């Protein structure tokens, strides 16, 4: 059972800026959320909202020459990742916290076979011998649904399809039975059938080894059957957080409402009537971080804008403590 007293991961008021002249440019602003053991969380938003940067920050995978932490903490089992010495952090990356990157063709090394890349993780973290690591690599490829795994370990990334490369990435990520798996857009550029298979695989792995799962995506349509709770991000802020069911049934923030209306299958999911209404795209684009004013960053695109919206940033407030629902909007 998840430990309600000590979350597996807890982010407290975390802010990150890009070092620039004459002033640093804030990118992530006061992020706070938590994840328990065996729990699944989706971080959703349009491109440029800070989803991937948030995910990479969890394992401190950002360039300290280009970025600076402005405040807050990222606690893994109560210990601040931001303050960990390098050797300890390297021992956690890949072993305790693993990450599936957005594009497997660039994340996988093209000059090494799939087997060699999985074996390297096992030898480094679990101290297995070469033969032990090879047997384990075959087991992992078989587990993620790659046929003829004992032959595929000798394949190079370019010899595999997109779906197979993504499965190989997942095999590498789960090699050490991590306590937390971060999947950054794991179904990008995959066809619908393979997309569904990858999501089903992630959910099966989460439930079978009680692994925490963070799914980073721009598409609310793929989180319905995977996530237990959802965080909606916009322009570096969390604008809404809720369990997946209540969020789909009754979204609170105008941005969340817009996202749901812009996905064709959402109406059928919410009402079960199989009907699809006309798409209602959100007007405008996500603003550049250097063009944000003092008010709500979504105000220029919001159909429910109030007079105060462009002048004052709304606070992230708790609407329902029992369901852990939070929203950042002057309407509430």
**pLDDT digit string, tens, across residues 100-154:** 987 766 788 999 999 999 999 999 999 999 999 999 999 999 988 899 999 999 9
Q: What is the mean pLDDT of residues 246-274?
A: 75
d(CA 331, CA 327): 10
Tell me what the mean pLDDT of segment 292-312 comes to.
92
Q: Kindly tell me if the per-residue pLDDT of 15 is higher than 80.
A: yes
Question: What pLDDT is stored for residue 265 in this prediction?
Answer: 54
Q: For residue 3, name the pLDDT band (cuts at 50, 70, 90).
A: very low
pLDDT at 131: 95
What pLDDT is stored for residue 92 in this prediction?
93
Q: Burial level of 187, CB count in 10 A (0-12/13-18/19+)?
A: buried
35 forms beta bridges with 9
Q: Is the pLDDT of residue 78 over 70?
A: yes
Is the per-residue pLDDT at 275 higher than 70?
no
Average pLDDT of the residues in 200-227: 86
Residue 270 predicted with pLDDT over 70: no
**What DSSP designation does 127 have?**
-
HSE-up of 279 (CA within 13 Å, CB side)?
Answer: 8
Mean pLDDT of 274-280: 59
pLDDT at 97: 96
CA-to-CA dists, residue 107 to 99, 104, 114, 230, angstroms = 11, 5, 12, 26
Residue 277, pLDDT score: 56
Res 264: pLDDT: 65
User: For residues 157 and 108, is the Cβ–Cβ distance under 8 A?
Assistant: yes
For residue 305, what are its two tokens? 């804008």
Report the SS3 class of residue 74: strand
Mean pLDDT of 241-247: 95
**Per-residue pLDDT tens digits for 25-76:** 999 999 999 999 999 999 999 888 999 999 999 999 998 899 999 999 999 9
Mean per-residue pLDDT over the chain, rounded: 88
How many Å apart are CA 107 and CA 205, to the nearest integer?
21
What's residue 11's pLDDT? 97
Report whether 258 contacts 280 (CB < 8 A): yes
Residues contacting 129, CB < 8 A, separation 6+: 123
């Amino acid at each position: 059972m998840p430990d309600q007293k000590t979350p597996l991961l807890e982010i407290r008021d975390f802010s990150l800026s890009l070092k620039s002249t004459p002033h640093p440019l804030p990118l992530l602003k006061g992020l706070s959320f938590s994840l328990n053991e065996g729990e699944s969380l989706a971080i959703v938003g349009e491109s440029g909202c800070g989803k991937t940067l948030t995910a990479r920050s969890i394992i401190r995978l950002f360039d300290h020459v280009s970025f600076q932490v402005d405040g807050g903490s990222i606690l893994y089992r109560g210990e601040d990742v931001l303050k960990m010495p390098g050797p300890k952090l390297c021992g956690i990356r890949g072993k305790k916290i693993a990450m599936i990157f957005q594009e497997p063709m660039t994340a996988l090394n093209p000059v090494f076979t799939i087997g060699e890349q999985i074996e390297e993780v096992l030898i480094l973290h679990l101290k297995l011998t070469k033969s032990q690591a090879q047997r384990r690599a075959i087991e992992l490829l078989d587990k993620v649904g790659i046929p003829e795994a004992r032959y595929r370990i000798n394949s190079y990334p370019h010899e595999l399809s997109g779906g197979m490369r993504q499965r190989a990435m997942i095999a590498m990520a789960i090699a050490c039975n991590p306590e937390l798996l971060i999947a950054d857009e794991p179904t990008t550029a995959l066809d619908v059938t393979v997309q569904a298979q990858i999501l089903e695989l992630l959910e099966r792995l989460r439930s079978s080894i009680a692994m925490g799962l963070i799914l980073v995506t721009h598409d609310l349509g793929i989180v319905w059957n995977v996530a237990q709770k959802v965080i909606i991000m916009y322009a570096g802020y969390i604008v809404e957080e809720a369990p997946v069911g209540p969020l789909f049934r009754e979204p609170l923030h105008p941005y969340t409402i817009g996202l749901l209306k812009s996905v064709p299958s959402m109406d059928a999911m919410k009402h079960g009537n199989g009907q699809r209404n006309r798409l209602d795209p959100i007007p405008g684009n996500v603003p550049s971080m250097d063009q944000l004013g003092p008010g709500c960053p979504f105000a220029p695109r919001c159909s429910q804008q109030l007079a105060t919206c462009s002048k004052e940033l709304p606070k992230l407030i708790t609407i329902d403590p029992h369901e852990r629902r939070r929203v950042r909007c002057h309407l509430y």
